[in-house]
Amino acid sequence: MARGRKRKHYFGPEQEDAVVRYLESPNDEERNDIYNKWLRDVFIKMIESLIRKKDLVPDGYTHEEILVDTLSHLITKMNKFDINANKKAYSYFTVICKNHILGFKIKEDKERNRKIPFDTVLSTFEEDERHSYSLSDTDYTKNDLINDICEEIKEELEAEGVTKKKMKLNERKLGFALIEILGNWEDIFTNLEGGSKYNKNSILGTIRDYTNMTTKDIRVSMKRFKKLYNLLKLSKIKDGYI
């Protein structure tokens, strides 16, 4: 029996080489020629293959809007690819596009949360002990603590590979998601109902929506940020803020 023809990958060695030539070229005209001949069409295929994954794409944007915006974003990020890192440009660019498309979903979720009538649930939220956090008798508030946590996560994202342990892709995705969630915690947490187990699952579901990660991957990646939180908490206790 004759074997079926092996399908040629649209982003192969020729495209990998084109990326290197594009990044090494000091000439804008030459770079444009390389891009139009070797890269533009495969970038479009790459983005469209991600758009076809329904769990990534929000409802409030058209295919064309996501495609054009993601392609533009990818072009601005191309120069960050390290041609000496012995890594595939295809994998690097796929991650950039996937995270950018995920950003559309995060933006949509954020906009949806803004439309929630906050005043109708504020009093219940304030009286609910499940959402309370005890702080010392200082000017340091719950919002201050959350802001400090966000800043620590941002620093972790920026400093990794320089002063910190190299951050894995899932840890990076989770870090950005935590910043978004903590930055909108009032809108998100006021809508939680039921017991603590239900709320925990709801928050976990929110993180899954933001990152497109499995529960197992989230739990593994969360270890880094739990350690970060514990160090911050100990520091605040030591300084008398908590």
Same domain, 141 and 241: yes
- Distance between CA atoms of residues 215 and 157, nearest Å: 21
Residue 231 has pLDDT above 60, yes or no: yes
CB burial of residue 47 (10 Å; 0-12, 13-18, 19+): buried
Residue 1 falls inside a structural domain: no
pLDDT digits (tens, 9 = 90+) for 194-208: 444 445 667 787 788
pLDDT for res 114: 56
SS (HEC) of 108-142: HHHHHHHCCCCHHHHHHHHHCHHHCCCCCCCCCCH
- Distance between CA atoms of residues 173 and 168, nearest Å: 9
Residue 3 falls inside a structural domain: no
Same domain, 195 and 218: yes
Residue 132 has pLDDT above 80, yes or no: no
Residue 2 falls inside a structural domain: no
Same domain, 239 and 139: yes
What does the DSSP assignment read for 142-176? Answer: HHHHHHHHHHHHHHHHHHBTTTBPPPPHHHHHHHH
Report which of 172, 177, 183, 174 is spatially closest to residue 148, judged by C-alpha positions: 183
- Mean pLDDT to the nearest integer, 121-138: 47
Report which of 184, 52, 44, 174 is spatially closest to residue 108, judged by C-alpha positions: 184
pLDDT for res 56: 63
Report which of 47, 42, 38 is spatially closest to residue 20, judged by C-alpha positions: 38
Of 69, 88, 115, which residue is a domain's last?
115
Query: In angstroms, how far is CA 37 from the centroid of its own chain?
Result: 31
Same domain, 55 and 89: yes
Its domain, for residue 99, covers: 10-115
Contacts of 50 (CB under 8 A, 6+ apart): 56, 70, 94, 97, 98, 101
Residue 68 falls inside a structural domain: yes
- Mean pLDDT to the nearest integer, 140-157: 83
What length is written for the chain? 242
- Mean pLDDT to the nearest integer, 212-220: 88
Between 29 and 231, the more confident residue is 29
pLDDT digits (tens, 9 = 90+) for 77-88: 898 888 988 888
Domain count, the chain: 2
Same domain, 169 and 187: yes
In angstroms and rounded to an integer, the radius of gyration of the C-alpha atoms of the chain is 22
pLDDT digits (tens, 9 = 90+) for 152-204: 888 888 776 555 678 888 888 898 888 888 877 766 665 555 444 445 667 78
pLDDT for res 103: 78
